[in-house]
Amino acid sequence: CEGKKQDFALFKESRTVFTCAKACLADSGYGGLMKVRFDSLTPQKKSKPRPLTNEDKANNQAIARERIGCEQVMGRLKVFKMLSLPYRNRRKRFGLRFNLIAAICNLERNA
């Protein structure tokens, strides 16, 4: 058992290749994403010697406005314990169960 891993470490290990031409929006946990994919957008972090400028804050808000829909969907999905806790059943069925949960969330959203 490997334990917990950071999102960006999992992303690098997966070696996922993006073929779409759209920019990749990510949270501040993906700080090194710019080195892997040049058209990615991540929020700026403030540091003690360098606080955020008004322009940086405006850019962060614009990125957050774009990402909020995705974050809300992920939050809706994680209500189900299967997706918020370690999955202990057979992996073979995980995709089917995930699709069923996504369908339930879509039904709730469109109702």
Cβ pair 37, 53 in contact under 8 A: no
pLDDT at 1: 47
pLDDT at 7: 74
For 31, how many CA atoms within 13 A lie in the half-sphere containing its CB?
5
Q: What percent of the chain has pLDDT over 70?
A: 95
The average pLDDT across 47-51 equals 90
Q: Read off the pTM.
A: 0.68
The CA distance from 64 to 69, in Å, is 9
The CA distance from 78 to 105, in Å, is 10
Alpha helix (H) residue ranges in the chain: 7-14, 33-36, 54-77, 81-84, 94-110
The average pLDDT across 9-21 equals 76
pLDDT at 2: 67
pLDDT at 65: 92
The CA distance from 60 to 92, in Å, is 39
The CA distance from 52 to 54, in Å, is 7
pLDDT at 101: 93
Residue 53 has pLDDT above 90, yes or no: yes
Tokens found for residue 49: 């010697």
Q: What is the pLDDT of residues 78-106, one digit of tens each?
A: 999 988 888 888 889 899 999 999 999 99
The average pLDDT across 51-64 equals 93
